[in-house]
Amino acid sequence: MFEKIIISSEPSSEEHDITECLKGLKKLGTEKCLLLYCLDPNEGGAKISSFYQKTLENYSEKQKVILESQGYEVEKSVDFGEADDEVNMLANEDNYSLVVVGGTIQSLIREKFLGGMEYQIIIHSRIPILVVRVSKFNDDEPLIEKCKITDHVLFPTDFSKNSRMAFSLILEMVKSGVKNVSVVHVAERDTEEDSRRDIMEKLQLYEVELAKSGAENVRVSILYGEPSDEIIDYTEESGATLIVMGSQGRGFLQEIFIGSVSHDLVRKSPVSVLLVPAKR
Q: What is the pLDDT of residues 223-246, one digit of tens each?
A: 999 999 999 999 999 999 999 999
Q: Is the pLDDT of residue 250 over 60?
A: no
147: alpha, beta or left? (left if phi > 0; alpha if psi -120 to 50): beta
Question: Average of pLDDT values for 3-32?
Answer: 86
Question: Average of pLDDT values for 6-23?
Answer: 80
Mean pLDDT of the chain, nearest integer:
84
Return d(Cα 30, Cα 130) in angstroms, integer.
Answer: 13
Indicate the DSSP class of residue 24.
G
Please indicate whether residue 59 or residue 104 has the higher confidence score (pLDDT). 59
pLDDT band at residue 112 under the 50/70/90 scheme: very low
Q: What is the pLDDT of residues 160-215, one digit of tens each?
A: 888 999 999 999 999 999 999 999 999 999 999 999 999 999 999 999 999 999 99
CATH 3.40.50.300: does it fit domain 150-280? Answer: no
Burial class (CB in 10 A: 0-12, 13-18, 19+), 58: exposed
pLDDT band at residue 140 under the 50/70/90 scheme: low
Q: Is the pLDDT of residue 258 over 50?
A: no
pLDDT at 41: 64
Q: Is the pLDDT of residue 106 over 90?
A: no
Q: Is the pLDDT of residue 275 over 90?
A: yes
Q: Is the pLDDT of residue 3 over 50?
A: yes
pLDDT band at residue 55 under the 50/70/90 scheme: confident
- CATH code reported for the domain at 1-136: 3.40.50.620
pLDDT band at residue 254 under the 50/70/90 scheme: very low
Domains of the chain, residue spans: 1-136, 150-280
Give the number of other Cβ atoms within 10 Å of residue 165's Cβ.
Answer: 16
Return d(Cα 116, Cα 82) in angstroms, integer.
Answer: 11
Q: Is the pLDDT of residue 257 over 90?
A: no
